[in-house]
A and B are shown apart, each in its own frame.
Chain A
Amino acid sequence: DTGVSQDPRHKITKRGQNVTFRCDPISEHNRLYWYRQTLGQGPEFLTYFQNEAQLEKSRLLSDRFSAERPKGSFSTLEIQRTEQGDSAMYLCASSLGDLNNQPQHFGDGTRLSIL
């Protein structure tokens, strides 16, 4: 399968712990996005990378959140000092940035539960 891959699929942790999620985009996709989805809501944009450059961050991305894409391939999203409100599905999407408006393709997400 050559789709977007996310790891882990599920993460349960205690409040105050740090967590890190990984996203492997579709090969050759230079654009990578992170979204967050809470129960009953549509996904909300968190941040965007073009190659290794982080070009946009949502106001939802507090200073406890950090994302990287060091070599322009896979990306990681870290949450420090987790809070109850961080419980959500974290989705990664990738696309090929070109003039044909290629769509974003999503992974199946990492579901984070804070105890």
Chain B
Amino acid sequence: DAKTTQPTSMDCAEGRAANLPCNHSTISGNEYVYWYRQIHSQGPQYIIHGLKNNETNEMASLIITEDRKSSTLILPHATLRDTAVYYCIVRVAWSSSNTGKLIFGQGTTLQVKP
């Protein structure tokens, strides 16, 4: 079972920041938080990941709370093309003894509106 909880759906106005929350209250110390998104009829697209520090890349920012029990993905200026299902996934750190498989939940359907 997925170790994360996300809202089923969210709306965001075009040009505004989209803040997508994720709860992962049972996260372990060696587990990372990954975010993917999936646009209709395409494969999941990697967005960002982090362990405990906040992370930023060209697509988004990831804010992880100090206790690591929740995180927020921020799309700073949402566009219509950001409409997608967003998945928050907790994954154990890679080692020679684990596969690193991803366990997806239902995700959050983000609808960006004009």
Spell out A's residues near B (CB within 8 Å). 4, 31, 33, 35, 41-45, 48, 50, 55-56, 91, 93, 95, 97-99, 101-109
Contact = CB atoms under 8 A, between A and B. Distances in A.
A55 B95 CA distance: 13
Contacts of B49: 101, 103
Interface of B: 2, 32, 34, 36, 41-46, 49, 85, 87, 91, 93-94, 99-107
Contacts of A56: 99, 101
A44 B27 CA distance: 20
Nearest to B39: A108
Nearest to B49: A103
Given A91-B44, A101-B94, A103-B46, A41 B106 contact: yes
A50 B100 CA distance: 11
A105 B32 contact: no
A41 B2 CA distance: 12
Given A55-B99, A93-B43, 18 more contacts: A33-B99, A41-B106, A42-B104, A42-B105, A43-B102, A43-B104, A44-B104, A45-B103, A50-B99, A91-B44, A97-B100, A98-B94, A103-B34, A106-B44, A107-B43, A108-B41, A108-B42, A109-B42
Nearest to B2: A42
